Amino acid sequence: MAENSLTKKLKKSLRQKPEFSARIISTDPDYNRRELIGSCLPKGCTLSDPPYRKIADMSGAIGTAMSNLGGWSGDSAFYHTQRPYLPEFDSPDRQWYPRNIAQANYYWRMYYKYDPFFGTAVEMYSQMMLSEFDIQLSNGDDQTVKNTLLEMCEETRFLDAFQNLIREFLVCGEAFPNCFFDAERGIWTYIGFHNPDTMEVVDNPIINMQPIINYIPDDKIVSFLSQNTIEAQEIKFYKLFFHSS
């Protein structure tokens, strides 16, 4: 009977949840000494707070003061200092975001090339915007205009150029297509794209004016045109011939 009663008491004590209170543990030696002395005090007795505990700082929060011996005081407390609203400094990617457009576009192109989610989303969106098309004329007898436009779309690879335009806009936020027009045939024969890093747009909304687009060649283009190669000479001759005519 005694053994059975002891077993019941043991089971009852095991079922009871231990009572504990969450507290912050400090590695400060003063804190460890106070904990050791406090464990030796009679039940119900506690040590008085140190004179440097819970000193209000200038922000109104409760903090802890530095002791004369260096380091923090024994008891620790959380404190929070009010910060100004500066969202541009809330994360490192905002603090160090490049102000140079060319450098920013370099990062966006890098994300498009290496990030699986960003690159895949751009490709899917640019493809979903396209579909096969046909040109319908009000005058079905005259097919000359239709054939000319279809020939232009095929020669300029219009669908591929349009997909490149969407992709460039999604990655860099801007796109600069350059269409070459053949006056004799009355169609565009080629659609190219300028690098947004080398383009400057001047637009003044105060007056009624067409935007001015300036092309600023980068170092690679300047170095290429400075060389005495056949390709560079052809470009210089093309520029001289068409500007003089």
Per residue in 81-114, pLDDT (tens digit) is: 777 888 877 787 778 888 888 899 999 999 999 9
Strand partners, 66: 72
Domain segments of the chain: what residues? 93-205, 215-245
d(CA 181, CA 165) in angstroms, rounded, equals 18
Question: Which helix H or strand E contains 56, and what residues bound it?
Answer: strand 55-56
Query: What are the distances in angstroms from CA 245 to CA 153, 178, 215, 236, 240?
Result: 29, 21, 21, 14, 9
Per residue in 53-64, pLDDT (tens digit) is: 544 444 444 444
Q: In the prediction, which pLDDT does 62 show?
A: 42
42-46, 117-121, 238-242 — most confident range:
117-121
pTM: 0.56
d(CA 74, CA 177) in angstroms, rounded, equals 68
- Mean of the per-residue pLDDT values of the chain: 76
Q: Which of 197, 167, 161 is nearest to 179 (CA)?
A: 161
Q: In the prediction, which pLDDT does 204 show?
A: 86
Per residue in 217-240, pLDDT (tens digit) is: 888 888 887 888 877 777 766 655
Pair 189, 178: CB distance under 8 Å: no
Pair 196, 172: CB distance under 8 Å: yes
Per residue in 165-184, pLDDT (tens digit) is: 999 999 999 999 999 999 98
Pair 37, 47: CB distance under 8 Å: yes
